[in-house]
């Protein structure tokens, strides 16, 4: 095993868990589109290599999903839609700039 520190200032975890309609889950909506849009915007802003966008398994809050968490800062966004991307990116910006 090798141990190191993360090269990223922050990590955006986008829950993509789906329960196949058995009960509400983050993956029910457009999370793949949301994740792709976040990745595109991170690249457009020149933050690639500083900010990582990843799909995550269940974050335990599917009833209020879709959910996106900024880690390790612990900032949580629930009921996320594409229209919320500017607010999420505004929350990321201080960590990239600072």
The model's pTM is: 0.88
**Cα–Cα dist 25/31, whole Å:** 11
pLDDT per position as a tens digit, 45-80: 999 999 999 999 888 888 888 899 999 999 999 999
Domain residue extents for the chain = 12-92
The CATH superfamily label for domain 12-92 reads Glutaredoxin (3.40.30.10)
Mean pLDDT on 11-19: 88
């Amino acid at each position: 095993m090798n141990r190191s520190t993360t090269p990223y200032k922050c990590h955006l975890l986008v829950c993509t868990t789906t329960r196949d309609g058995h009960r509400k889950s983050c993956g029910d909506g457009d999370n793949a589109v949301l994740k792709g849009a976040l990745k595109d915007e991170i690249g457009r802003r020149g933050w690639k290599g500083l900010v990582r966008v990843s799909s995550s398994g269940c974050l335990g809050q599917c009833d209020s999903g879709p959910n996106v968490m900024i880690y390790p800062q612990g900032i949580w966004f629930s009921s996320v839609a594409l229209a919320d991307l500017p607010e999420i990116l505004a929350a990321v910006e201080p960590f990239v700039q600072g």
